[in-house]
Amino acid sequence: MKDTIVLYSSIGRGHVFSMVELGNLILTHNPSFSIKILIPTPTNTAKIDTTTFVCNSSITFHHLTITPPSSSATTLPPHLLIFDITRHGNHNLHHVLQSISKASNLKAVVLDFMNYSATEVTDTLDIPTLFYYTSGASTLCFLHHMQTIKQNRTKSTNDNQTYLEIPGFPTISTQELPQESTHIEDIFIKISATLSDCDGIIINTFNALEERAIKTLKEGSCFPEERNPPPVFCIGPVVSVPGGEKDENGCLSWLDSQPSQSVVLLSFGSLGRFSKNQLKEIAIGLEKSEQRFLWVVRSESDEDSLEELLPEGFLERTKEKGMVVKNWAPQAAILSHDSVGGFVTHCGWNSMLEAVCEGVPMVAWPLYAEQKLNRVVLVKEMKVGLALKECEDGFVNATELGEHVKELMNSEKGKEIRERILNMKVSAVEARAEVHVLVITWHGSRQEAYAILRESR
Ligand code: UDP
C-alpha cells in the first residue's frame, strides 16, 4: 500500500494553490508518496477547476462536499462563516479519511489553519496532524498572545495610549489592534490553542523576512509553558508564478507602454470591495497624486459600470496616465512588470509576499481578516511600506491616499523603502533556492510520533 499524505485546503483558489505548492514540495523528495488534496466545496458554490494547477502526477484532488450552516445554526457573522463551514464538513471528512486509510498508509494530514476544527476528526482517528499556516510568522506570534490581550482588555477598557509588547511581534498600540468583534478574537484563541497542540507547523515565510518571529516560534517562547512546542518549518516564499493567468483586459500590454517603475498598482485581494463613495474618493486621491496607476476596481454592486462608479470624466481625464479594470487582473504578472513601482495593497499575505518577491514597495490599506496586523508588520518590522490611516469606519479620504501614493513614488522616504524591499527581493530569491528538501518521516504510533521536515541548506 502506498504512503499517503492528505492536505486539507481551506475554501478559495488561493488556499488550494498553497496546498498544491506544498504537495509539490513534499513530493520532490518523497517521490514514493501519494498526496491527496481535499477541497472543501460548499453545496452553494461552484467546484474549483483543478486542471489549471501545475501539479506533480502523484497529486490527486477530492472535492469534499459541505452543506453550509443555515444562518440560524451559527452565531458567527457572515464574513467569519468560513471558519464554521469546515466544522460542518467534519462528518464527511471522517468518512473520506477512513476510506483513504483503508486503501493506503495514511501517514499524516496537513490542515490549512483555517480548518482548525478538523482536528476533532484527526484526533478521533489518531492521525498525525500538521498545520499549514498560510499567513506570516509574526501574526502567528500575535495569535498566541490573543488570550492575554483579551484578558487585559477587559481590565483596562479602550485606553488608546497602551502599547503591547508581544514576543515575536513589533510593539503595537491598542489603537492598531483589529477592532472586530469578540468573535474573531475567540477564533484566534481557538486557532492558537489547536496549533500549539499539533505535530508541526508549516509557514509560508522565510528567515530574512520575519527573523524575530520565526526565532520566537522555534524557541517556543510564545507557546504555553506546560506544552512542548510543535516544530516549525518555514518553506516560503511560496507565490504564484507570474504569467500563469490570462490577461483579458490587456493590463500587461498597457504596462509595456509605460516608463520603468512609474506605475502604482491598486489591488485589494479576492474579497476587497468598496462603496461608491469610497471608490470616488480613491479616484480623486489618484488624480491629486499625479502618479501613473493601474487600478483593479471591485465595488459592492457588481452591476454598475466603471463610468457609473467613478467621478464624472475621471476615465477620460486620466486615460494617458491610468488604466482601470473591473474585478480582477493578473496581479503576480503585473507586479513582476518593470513599469510597476508601487503597490497599494489590502495586506493579504500572498499579495505582500508577491510584492516582496518582485521588490515593489507598498502602501498598506488593510481591509479584513488579519490584515491590520500585517500592516503593522509590513511598516514597523519589515519597513517596506507606508501605512494609510483610515477613519474609524474604515473610510480613507482622497488626501490621505493621494499623499501616501506620492510619498511612496516620489520622496526620500519612498526611496529608502524601495531600496529595502529590493534587498529583501534578493533574500527571497536565496530563500527559494534553499528550501529544496522537505522530508516527512513518521516513527511508531502517534504517541511516539514525530515529524522531521528537514529544511536542507
Ligand atoms: N489576485 C489576483 N488578481 C486580483 C486580485 C488578487 O491575481 O485582481 C491574487 C493575488 O495575486 C494573490 C491572491 O489573489 O495571489 C490574493 O491573496 P491574498 O492573500 O493577498 O488576499 P486574500 O484574497 O486572501 O484576501
CA 59 / ligand 1 centre spacing (Å): 24
Out of 331, 345, 358, 373, mutate this one to test ligand 1's pocket (max ligand atoms within 8 Å of CB): namely 331
Q: How far apart are CA 387 and CA 364, in angstroms?
A: 5
265 lines ligand 1 (CB under 6 A): no
| 249, HSE (Cβ side, Cα atoms, 13 Å) | 16
326 lines ligand 1 (CB under 6 A): no
CA 241 / ligand 1 centre spacing (Å): 13
Q: What is the pLDDT of residues 351-391, one digit of tens each?
A: 999 999 999 999 999 998 889 999 999 999 999 999 999 99
3-state secondary structure of 347: coil
Residue closest by Cα to atom 11 of ligand 1: 331
3-state secondary structure of 130: strand
Residue closest by Cα to atom 22 of ligand 1: 269
Hey, what amino acid is at 184?
I
Residues in the chain: 457
Task: Say whether pLDDT at 70 is over 80.
Answer: no
112 is catalytic: yes
**Exposure of 91 by Cβ count < 10 A (0-12 exposed, 13-18 middle, 19+ buried)?**
exposed
Atom of ligand 1 nearest to the CA of 345: 20
Top pLDDT among 68 and 97 is at: 97
Out of 252, 351, 353, mutate this one to test ligand 1's pocket (max ligand atoms within 8 Å of CB): namely 351
The answer to whether domain 3-240+431-456 has CATH 3.40.50.150 is no
Domain residue spans of the chain: 3-240+431-456, 251-429
332 lines ligand 1 (CB under 6 A): yes
pLDDT at 227: 65
Q: Is 359 left (phi over 0), alpha (psi -120 to 50) or beta?
A: left
**71: number of Cβ within 10 Å:** 11
Query: Can you tell me the mean pLDDT for 23-27?
Result: 89
84 is catalytic: no
Q: What is the pLDDT of residues 26-46, one digit of tens each?
A: 888 788 899 999 999 999 889
Top pLDDT among 75 and 400 is at: 400
Q: How far apart are CA 325 and CA 298, in angstroms?
A: 9
Query: Can you tell me the mean pLDDT for 15-25?
Result: 91
Q: What is the pLDDT of residues 312-335, one digit of tens each?
A: 999 999 999 999 999 999 999 999
**Exposure of 197 by Cβ count < 10 A (0-12 exposed, 13-18 middle, 19+ buried)?**
middle
Which grid cell sits at 78? Answer: 457572515
pLDDT at 158: 54
Contact present, 295 and 325 (Cβ < 8 Å): yes
240 lines ligand 1 (CB under 6 A): yes
Radius of gyration of the chain from its Cα atoms, rounded to whole angstroms: 22
Q: What is the pLDDT of residues 250-305, one digit of tens each?
A: 999 999 999 999 999 999 988 889 999 999 999 999 999 999 999 999 998 878 89
- Give 3-state DSSP helix, strand, coil % of the chain, rounded to 5: 45, 15, 40
pLDDT at 433: 83
Query: Can you tell me the mean pLDDT for 404-415?
Result: 98
Catalytic residue among 88, 112, 144, 346: 112
Residue 349's pLDDT band, with cuts at 50, 70 and 90, is very high
Average model confidence (pLDDT) across the chain:
88
In 156-301, which residue ranges form alpha helices assigned H by DSSP?
Answer: 182-196, 211-219, 251-256, 276-289
Most confident of 6-10, 21-25, 81-85, 267-271: 6-10
Q: Dump the DSSP string for 15-81.
A: HHHHHHHHHHHHHHH-TT-EEEEEEEEETTSPPP-GGGS---TTEEEEEEEE-PPPGGG--S-GGGH
Q: How far apart are CA 10 and CA 42, in angstroms?
A: 11
The CATH homologous superfamily to which domain 251-429 belongs is Glycogen Phosphorylase B; (3.40.50.2000)
Residue 230's pLDDT band, with cuts at 50, 70 and 90, is confident
Top pLDDT among 50 and 178 is at: 50
343 lines ligand 1 (CB under 6 A): no
270 lines ligand 1 (CB under 6 A): yes
CA 375 / ligand 1 centre spacing (Å): 16
